[in-house]
Structure 1
Amino acid sequence: MELKTLDYSVSDGIARITLCRPAELNTMNGDFWPEMVQVFKAIEHDMAVRCVILASTGKHFTAGLDLKWAGQNAAASTGGDLGRQREAFRRHVKELQESFKVIDDCRVPVIVVTQGGCIGGGVDLVTACDIRICSSEAYFTIQEINVGIVADVGTLQRIPHLLPQGLIRELAYTGRKFPAAEALRYGFVNRVEDTHADALAAADVMAREICAKSPLAITGIKQVLNYGREHSIADGLEYVAVWNAGMLQGEDMKEAVKAQMARLSATYANLKA
């Protein structure tokens, strides 16, 4: 897989995706968006993957959207019928949204590790992940208000499930920095580590623990939690009842109970491709 903005590797059940343009502050240019879809499509077809760690390089996690690329793209879309211009732009935004929707929809948990600034599109990205770990100097900024636009790639849709409404509105209206300590206090991040290296190490420990669990149960948990965001409690209870009625016919529960009784670690087969 040839990639320009990401590094990608898989080992010991963990897929590692790393933003790799530190000199450009890992800004999200024209190559970034389709590459994110490409990588998560590969994960969906690789049943050896049981967890994802998404990280970055350099001083900052990401400065968000590459404004030069965005400006060039906007200029290229002008001319001709205004209604057709705007309809084409709508499809463009939907394509960008898909690059983070694939993270949210991924069958395995995604742990994201941030350092320094996580700005604009970076917040769209991390809110699509399951678990957030950061270094102590990290901060998050809903930057879009500072460039006069409405965040449109997922932040405003996903962050209400992660933070209180009043705080969300403050952050979105002001574009202020949301530092690591405050993010931890409100539960936006799972933990704060002293350094970027420490945060990556913590993510690795967590990912390995997840990889040791039943992959069938893990993917079921993610499916049920995601379903519950959009449905009532009654709908969610019905969904999980049907899920378990179908999926508990496998061997994983038997293996787990047997291992616990013997005080051993269970071994689970990968999901079927």
Structure 2
Amino acid sequence: MEEKYETLKIQQESPNSGVFNLIINRPSVSNALGLNFFSEFPKVLNPLDQNPTVAVIVLSGSGNHFCGGIDLKSLAAMADDNSGDQGRTSERLRRKIKFLQDAITAIERCRKPVIAAIHGACLGLGINIVTACDIRYCTKDAIFSVKEVDLAITADLGTLQRLPGIVGFGKAMELSLTGRRFSGDEAKELGLVFGFSVRGRN
């Protein structure tokens, strides 16, 4: 548990507590996440799952926001391929996307309950992450958006697979195709979150 990570940190609630806080830790960029997050996240989550002292994992964001989405530099890096071979380029992109999807699915594979504590912005990749959690709470001033449509990409890291089962197919499609922002109050009405918290973790 002492290992240092670039995008995450772990805090035990108290010395004898079974509650462990897993905190997205890039506050200087609103917790926008680059490719290194997808490597680190399963490496952090899996040991917590295996640790018998861990009873529950609370996933939150440091700073003012839960997650500002994917780091646009990472998207550019994924798309940067000058091989000229369309077939091989498509296959490499497919493998990269599967790698990203697998990192988020690590939440579902975790046998310990994972609770999302959301505050501030929860955009794009943030929605992918929280829809994989077992329980979700947010602050009243939280803002959500399935942002990918604004970037002309697909929310295929889990949102389109999981969100319909949470809020219903029609509402999930409306949110995904418009990319509109919605509030913590609406998130509760939709059933995306179960209630309100005073503040996400720092």
Segments of 5+ residues of structure 2 without an aligned counterpart are none
Q: Shift of residue 9 of structure 1?
A: 3.0
Cα distance in 1, alignment partners of residues 170 and 87 from structure 2: 36
Partner amino acid, structure 2, of 1:118: C
Cα distance in 2, alignment partners of residues 61 and 68 from structure 1: 19
Counterpart among 110, 127, 130 of residue 123 in structure 1: 127
- Other-structure match for 1:137: 141
What TM-score, normalized by structure 1, do the two folds share?
Answer: 0.69
- Other-structure match for 1:169: 173
Q: How many residues align?
A: 196
- How do 1:4-23 and structure 2 match up within 5 A? 4-10=6-12, 11=14, 12-23=17-28
- Asked whether the equivalents of residues 18 and 55 of structure 2 are also in contact (C-alpha less than 8 Å), the reply is yes
Taking only aligned residues, the RMSD between alpha carbons, in angstroms, comes to 1.3
Give CA deviations for 1:154-180 in whole Å, capped at 9, x if unaligned: 000011110022211110110001210
Q: What SS is found at the alignment partner of 1:113? A: strand
- Other-structure match for 1:244: none
Q: Which runs of 4+ in 1 moved over 6 A?
A: none
Q: What SS is found at the alignment partner of 2:102? A: helix
Cα distance in 2, alignment partners of residues 112 and 78 from structure 1: 39
Cα distance in 2, alignment partners of residues 38 and 145 from structure 1: 30
Q: Shift of residue 129 of structure 1?
A: 0.2
Cα distance in 2, alignment partners of residues 125 and 45 from structure 1: 20
Cα distance in 2, alignment partners of residues 172 and 80 from structure 1: 32
- Other-structure match for 2:55: 50
What TM-score, normalized by structure 2, do the two folds share?
Answer: 0.92
The answer on 1:36 being equivalent to 2:25 is: no
The answer on 1:91 being equivalent to 2:86 is: no
Overall identity of the aligned pairs, in %: 36
Segments of 5+ residues of structure 1 without an aligned counterpart are 201-273
Cα distance in 1, alignment partners of residues 134 and 155 from structure 2: 20
Q: Shift of residue 80 of structure 1?
A: 4.0
Give CA deviations for 1:158-217 in whole Å, capped at 9, x if unaligned: 111100222111101100012100111122101113x41xx55xxxxxxxxxxxxxxxxx
Larger radius of gyration: 1
Cα distance in 2, alignment partners of residues 41 and 111 from structure 1: 16
- Asked whether the equivalents of residues 164 and 171 of structure 2 are also in contact (C-alpha less than 8 Å), the reply is no
Cα distance in 2, alignment partners of residues 51 and 6 from structure 1: 17
Return the structure number with greater helix share.
1
